[in-house]
């Protein structure tokens, strides 16, 4: 904004300046630079200690496939965290809905797409129920979803009776995790995405200039676009030097992009952030807080269902045993990426960074043949670090300007 | 000139407690009305009735000489009557633009997508109109000073075309420079023809910015002063009820043209033991 000449009384208080400089770097969409640096250092370390195995095209391709389940469930947990709530049932719901898809496909001979829809619908319905209890009965989401987690674990055991696993036979369902996109899609979709993004940047610039608003210098926009294109090209080059872009990876990235648009550009997304920031103020501003809460819980569980379908597709079966670390890793992916546990802060893209940190650690330590003992301790330490940073940032932002 | 907003004979009780008794209030365009009174005098109840949070038990709510029904907050906002509560109702994590348009975002024709350039342009316009200085409309409001936050909360009402703005303790949490800034803002809004109602405990602020003071005591409107011909002592006396027990030379009640004191004050005294106690305290001071 245009700077007005400051009169002595104008308050350019030091607290304002401090909060702006340090805090805002972390708060912005691009505030993942510290995480990115940590990620690069980690990759270099693992690569050096595993004879360049870690950064090989094959391992990176595998890494993205391993990341898909956590990234998808993590995306769901971001939705809920942005509201200032938490959903502890996502991992169990993921397995349950994966099982629903498998059952529909194996026992009821649904075509693959109908089986997937059934799984997603089950997830959405479960989320709606959780959301209704949280929003209208005002029970803390923590306890509602904890109870739900227990109940749905029981339901999962029940629907797979008398077995504990169910093998998928449909080649299309298995193919989600096993197959790669043909080049015209594997390269075409990212190029389309980049084109849309560039078009959006240019259109915004033109509109702002027409309205007489400040625009960033042209070189900055250029650098921004250039870096984005370079990153995408690098990733595509890695994929192409192996088998191409995995279908599942592309699906996950498409979902993240879709939810980014939803959260960043629509009034719905804006209201989610508003509720996470100040639910009472949002209510007074005429936002239907409860409806949004219910919908977000529904969407989060639907994303968990998608994660569960990926999980089933990867292991080619449905299993009653829910990974004990899955839920924590999904929430950790969100928090490490900069999504606040206190609500209202963080970008949907956080899940990419967060998942790469978690799965990168897991993958790298596996390559080094470290045991679960080391893995758990390292992951626990990283998670604590991320939560501490979140708490410190929150304290800084509430201290500023008061 | 007719008042924009008029309340007549408002009564409101909560169970056995009668919070408001037969209260009148009128707000003209281009004036700042100060609403003062001790704790429990009924100021908050009165503004919540104006804001539509409470419905009165009886009495008339008149806007532009027409009787209206205001039973929900939306009713008041539709009539151009906006209230800024002490908590300001800002989302700390959102930037200035998002806060100003919260709940009524501009969208791109028919689509659910926000028209952020248009919202930013209008934000800059309204901040310039109100002469509010902030370094960027894209900083989260948590990074703003108390005075700036108050200004943002007021600007929000202006964007919704408010005609009457009610401010609840706008300077209570502010330092000297910030208070000055907010008082300047109130004056500017008055000069633009808005009617303002300011609740304040700080009589210095009241004298600085207000045109007319309405004093509440124990659920009644007990006095109304033109600020130009009033002293702090008179207002304090009306707030504490001192002028009837020991009377500061009868001034508060007798100024006539500048002060009107409801005549039935003495008659109900007996019904209200608390009143006796209160006025007793007043006479000691």
Taking chain A, what is the end-to-end CA distance rounded to the nearest angstrom? Answer: 23
By DSSP bridging, strand B259-261 and strand B220-226 are antiparallel
Q: What pLDDT score does A276 carry?
A: 95
Q: For tokens 């923590």, what's the residue?
A: A142
Q: What does the block give as tokens for A385?
A: 């670090």
Asked if B31 and B22 count as a contact pair (C-beta separation under 8 A), the reply is no
Q: What pLDDT score does A369 carry?
A: 86
Which stretches does DSSP call E strand in A301-385? 317-319
Nearest to A278 among B92, B121, B133 (CB): B92
Q: Residue A38 — left, alpha, or beta (φ > 0 → left; ψ -120 to 50 → alpha)?
A: alpha
What's the CA gap between A134 and A124, in Å, rounded? 15
Under 8 Å CB-to-CB from A120, ≥6 apart: which residues? Answer: A97, A302, A305, A306, A309
By DSSP bridging, strand B81-84 and strand B164-168 are parallel
Asked if B220 and B264 count as a contact pair (C-beta separation under 8 A), the reply is no
Low-confidence ranges of chain A (pLDDT < 50): 1-30, 400-402
Nearest to A16 among B91, B105, B145 (CB): B145
Under 8 Å CB-to-CB from B41, ≥6 apart: which residues? Answer: B216, B217, B218, B219, B239
Under 8 Å CB-to-CB from A92, ≥6 apart: which residues? Answer: A148, A149, A152, A153, A156, A322, A327
Q: What pLDDT score does B252 carry?
A: 41
- B133 pLDDT band, cuts 50/70/90, is confident
Helix (H, G, I), strand (E, B) or coil at A56: coil
Under 8 Å CB-to-CB from A168, ≥6 apart: which residues? Answer: A102, A105, A106, A174, A312, A313, A316, A317, A318
Q: What pLDDT score does A265 carry?
A: 93
pLDDT tens per residue across span B168-185: 988 888 888 888 889 999
Q: Which CATH number fits domain A30-179+246-393: 1.10.3470, 1.25.40, 1.20.120, 3.90.1480?
A: 1.10.3470
A347 CA: distance to closest CA in chain B (Å): 13
What's the CA gap between B108 and A202, in Å, rounded? 17
* Containing structural domain, residue B204: 5-284
pLDDT tens per residue across span B59-81: 999 999 999 998 888 889 899 99
Cβ neighbours of A301 (radius 10 Å)? 36
| Boundaries of every domain in chain A | 30-179+246-393, 180-245
Asked if A307 and B128 count as a contact pair (C-beta separation under 8 A), the reply is no
Asked if B118 and A211 count as a contact pair (C-beta separation under 8 A), the reply is yes
Q: What pLDDT score does A98 carry?
A: 95
A residues 156-185 lying closer than 8 A (beta carbon) to B: none
Asked if A145 and A130 count as a contact pair (C-beta separation under 8 A), the reply is yes
- Complex ipTM over 0.85: no
* CATH (domain of B172): 3.40.50.300
A204 to chain B: which residues are within 8 Å by CB? 117
The chain B residues in contact with chain A (CB within 8 A) are 73-74, 87, 89-94, 98, 102-105, 107, 112-114, 117-118, 120-121, 124, 127, 133-137, 139-149, 177-178, 180-181
What's the CA gap between B170 and B87, in Å, rounded? 10
Alpha carbons within 13 A on the beta-carbon side of B84: 29
- B197 pLDDT band, cuts 50/70/90, is very high
Name the DSSP letter for residue B72. S
Kindly provide the b/e burial profile for residues A53-71, where b requires at least 16 CB atoms within 10 angstroms of the residue's own CB. ebebeebbbebbbbbbbbb
How confident is the model over B84-107, as a mean pLDDT? 91
- Are residues B114 and A6, on separate chains, in Cβ contact within 8 Å? no
Cβ neighbours of A341 (radius 10 Å)? 17
How big is chain A, counted in residues?
A: 402
B144 to chain A: which residues are within 8 Å by CB? 16, 401
B93 to chain A: which residues are within 8 Å by CB? 273, 276-277, 343-345, 397
CB pairs under 8 A between A and B: 129
pLDDT tens per residue across span B224-282: 888 888 888 888 888 888 755 443 443 444 333 334 444 444 334 333 333 333 333 33
Nearest to B139 among A24, A286, A402 (CB): A24
What's the CA gap between A291 and A299, in Å, rounded? 12
Cα A286 to its chain centre, rounded Å, is 29
Q: What does the block give as tokens for B62?
A: 């008149």
Mean pLDDT score of chain B: 82
Nearest to B93 among A6, A15, A273 (CB): A273
Q: What does the block give as tokens for A212?
A: 């007489």
By CB neighbour count within 10 A (0-12 exposed, 13-18 middle, 19+ buried), where does A125 fall? middle
B143 to chain A: which residues are within 8 Å by CB? 16, 19-20, 23-24, 397, 400-401
What's the CA gap between A183 and A3, in Å, rounded? 51
A280 to chain B: which residues are within 8 Å by CB? 87, 89
What's the CA gap between B175 and B248, in Å, rounded? 33
In degrees and rounded to multiples of 5, residue B23 shows phi and psi of -90, 135
Q: What does the block give as tokens for A151?
A: 């109940």
Q: What pLDDT score does A399 carry?
A: 54
Question: Across the beta sheet with B66-67, what order do the strands follow?
Answer: B17-27, B5-14, B58-63, B66-67
Q: Which residue of B has its CA nearest to A343?
A: B93
Percentages (nearest 5) of helix, strand, coil residues in chain A: 75, 0, 25
Alpha carbons within 13 A on the beta-carbon side of A334: 30
What's the CA gap between A352 and A256, in Å, rounded? 9
Nearest to A281 among B89, B107, B133 (CB): B89
Q: What pLDDT score does B112 carry?
A: 87
Helix (H, G, I), strand (E, B) or coil at B216: strand
pLDDT at B200 over 70: yes
By CB neighbour count within 10 A (0-12 exposed, 13-18 middle, 19+ buried), where does A387 fall? middle
């Amino acid at each position: 904004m245009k700077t007005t000449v400051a009169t002595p009384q104008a308050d350019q208080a030091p607290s304002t300046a401090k909060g702006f400089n340090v805090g805002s770097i972390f708060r912005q969409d691009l505030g993942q630079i510290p995480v990115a640096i940590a990620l690069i250092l980690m990759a270099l370390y693992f690569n050096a200690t595993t004879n360049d195995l870690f950064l090989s095209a094959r391992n990176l391709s595998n890494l993205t496939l391993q990341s898909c389940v956590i990234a998808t469930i993590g995306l769901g947990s971001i939705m809920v965290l942005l509201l200032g709530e938490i959903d502890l049932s996502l991992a169990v719901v993921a397995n349950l809905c994966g099982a629903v898809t498998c059952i529909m496909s194996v026992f009821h001979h649904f075509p693959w797409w109908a089986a997937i829809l059934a799984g997603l619908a089950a997830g959405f319905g479960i989320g709606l129920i959780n959301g209704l209890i949280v929003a209208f009965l005002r029970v803390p989401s923590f306890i509602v979803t904890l109870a739900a987690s227990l109940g749905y674990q029981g339901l999962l055991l029940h629907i797979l009776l008398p077995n504990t696993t169910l093998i998928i036979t449909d080649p299309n369902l298995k193919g989600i995790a096993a197959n790669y996109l043909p080049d015209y899609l594997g390269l075409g979709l990212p190029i389309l995405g980049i084109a849309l993004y560039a078009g959006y940047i240019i259109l915004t610039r033109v509109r702002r200039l027409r309205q007489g608003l400040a625009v960033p210098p042209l070189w900055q926009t250029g650098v921004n676009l250039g870096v984005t294109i370079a990153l995408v090209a690098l990733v595509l080059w890695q994929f192409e030097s192996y088998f191409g872009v995995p279908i599942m990876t592309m699906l996950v990235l498409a979902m993240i992009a879709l939810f980014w648009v939803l959260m960043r550009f629509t009034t719905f997304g804006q209201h989610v952030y508003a509720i996470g920031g100040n639910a009472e103020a949002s209510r007074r501003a005429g936002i239907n807080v409860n409806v949004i809460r219910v919908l977000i819980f529904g969407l989060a569980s639907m994303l968990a269902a998608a994660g569960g379908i990926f999980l089933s597709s990867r292991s080619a079966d449905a299993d009653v045993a829910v990974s004990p670390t899955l839920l924590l890793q999904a929430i950790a992916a969100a928090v490490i990426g900069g999504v606040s546990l206190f609500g209202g802060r963080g970008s949907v893209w956080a899940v990419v960074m967060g998942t790469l940190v978690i799965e990168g650690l897991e993958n790298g330590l596996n390559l080094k043949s470290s045991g679960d003992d080391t893995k758990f301790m390292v992951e626990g330490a990283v998670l604590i670090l991320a939560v501490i940073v979140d708490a410190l940032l929150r304290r800084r932002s509430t201290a500023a300007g008061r | 000139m007719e008042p924009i907003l008029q309340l007549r004979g408002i009564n409101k009780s909560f169970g056995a407690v009668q919070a408001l008794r037969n209260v009148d209030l009128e707000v003209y365009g281009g004036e700042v009305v100060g609403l003062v009174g001790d704790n429990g005098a009924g100021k908050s109840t009165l503004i919540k009735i104006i804001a539509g949070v409470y419905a009165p038990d009886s009495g008339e709510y008149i806007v532009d000489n027409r009787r209206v029904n205001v039973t929900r907050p939306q009713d008041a906002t539709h009539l151009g009557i906006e209230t800024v509560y002490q908590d300001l109702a800002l989302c700390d994590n959102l930037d200035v633009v998002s806060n100003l348009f919260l709940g009524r975002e501009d969208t791109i024709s028919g689509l659910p997508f926000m028209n952020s350039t248009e919202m930013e342009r209008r934000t800059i316009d309204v901040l310039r109109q109100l002469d509010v200085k902030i370094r960027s409309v894209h900083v989260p409001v948590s990074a703003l000073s108390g005075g700036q936050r108050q200004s943002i909360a007021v600007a929000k009402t202006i964007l919704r075309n408010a005609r009457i703005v009610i401010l609840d303790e706008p300077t209570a949490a502010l330092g000297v420079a910030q208070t000055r800034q907010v008082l300047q803002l109130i004056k500017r809004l008055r000069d633009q023809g808005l009617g303002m109602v300011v609740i304040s405990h700080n009589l210095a602020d009241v004298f600085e910015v207000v045109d007319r003071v309405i004093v509440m005591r124990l659920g009644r409107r007990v006095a109304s002063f033109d600020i130009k011909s009033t002293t702090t002592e008179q207002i304090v006396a009306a707030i504490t009820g001192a002028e009837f027990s020991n009377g500061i030379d009868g001034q508060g009640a007798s100024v006539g043209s500048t002060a009107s004191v409801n005549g039935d004050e003495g008659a109900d005294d007996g019904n209200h033991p608390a009143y006796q106690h209160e006025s007793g305290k007043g006479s000691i001071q």
